[in-house]
Amino acid sequence: MELYILGGLVVALAIGLVIQQIRIERTNRKLAELATKPKPVVVSEPTALELENKLKAAYEAKIGEATQAFATDLTSTSAKLSELVSRLTTDVIEKELDAYHKTLDGVRATANEAMEKIRAAVDEQRVELRKGMEADVAAEQNRLIERFDTKMGDVVSSYIAESLGGGVDLGAQMQYVISSLEAHKEEIKKDLYNGV
């Protein structure tokens, strides 16, 4: 019994589905026909003119609004941009100048330090050089004086000998010679006795 009822319900459902399918196909067919054959809209000339005038006015109004908004926005943006560029430029320049000043100060300090070191080294070198030169000059001076003194006896005696030539008068010297020997008689005598 239950099977008959269930079978009856299934058959009823199947029939319902077939009917619905058929209706959908009819509707689709109508829609396709409507699409292929559009139905022309008929507007009167005054209406068309009115519509065109309205559209034109609305379009111009929108254009005006858009232009005004754009101008306002552009002015504002330009001012902001100018301000931003100015601030950026000022900041960059200040930063660069600051960095430049710092670098310049560093370079100046380094240069001053180097100059001080060079000056100190030069001064030290000058002092050393001066000391060395003074010592050299003094040594050379002493050497020349010593040499001069040593040679002067030879020079003068040679000059005397050359001036006198071969005519040395020993007779005039004999008194000096004998007195010189007499002054050292004991030493000479002692040494000669030692040789005997």
Least distance to another protein, CB of residue 185, Å: 5
Which parts of 3-42 interact with another protein (CB under 8 A)?
A: none
Does 144 contact another protein by CB under 8 A?
Answer: no
Tokens 């001080």 locate to 116
Q: Are 51 and 43 in contact (CB under 8 A)?
A: yes
Q: CA 12, CA 4: separation in Å to the nearest integer?
A: 12
Number of neighbouring beta carbons within 10 Å of residue 77: 12
CB of 186 to another protein, least distance (A): 8
Closer residue to another protein (CB): 46 or 153: 153
Binding footprint of another protein, residue count (CB under 8 A)? 35
**In the complex, least distance from residue 139 CB atom to another protein, rounded to whole angstroms:** 18
143-158 core/surface letters (b: 16 or more CB in 10 A; e: else): eeeeeeeeeeeeeeee
Q: How many whole angstroms separate alpha carbon 120 and alpha carbon 114?
A: 10
Q: Are 144 and 151 in contact (CB under 8 A)?
A: no
Contact segment (CB under 8 A) with another protein among 102-110, 113-121, 128-136, 159-167 equals: 159-167
Residue 142 in the binding site for another protein (CB under 8 A) = no
Least Cβ distance, residue 168 to another protein (angstroms) = 4
Residue 169: strand, helix, or coil: coil
Three-state secondary-structure class, residue 166: coil
Q: What is the distance of C-alpha 58 from the center of its chain?
A: 63
* 141 part of the interface to another protein, by CB under 8 A: no
Residues 173-192 that bind another protein (CB under 8 A): 173-174, 176-178, 180-181, 184-185, 187-189, 191-192
Where along the sequence are the contacts to another protein (CB under 8 A)?
A: 145, 148-150, 152-154, 156-158, 160-161, 164, 166, 168, 170-171, 173-174, 176-178, 180-181, 184-185, 187-189, 191-196
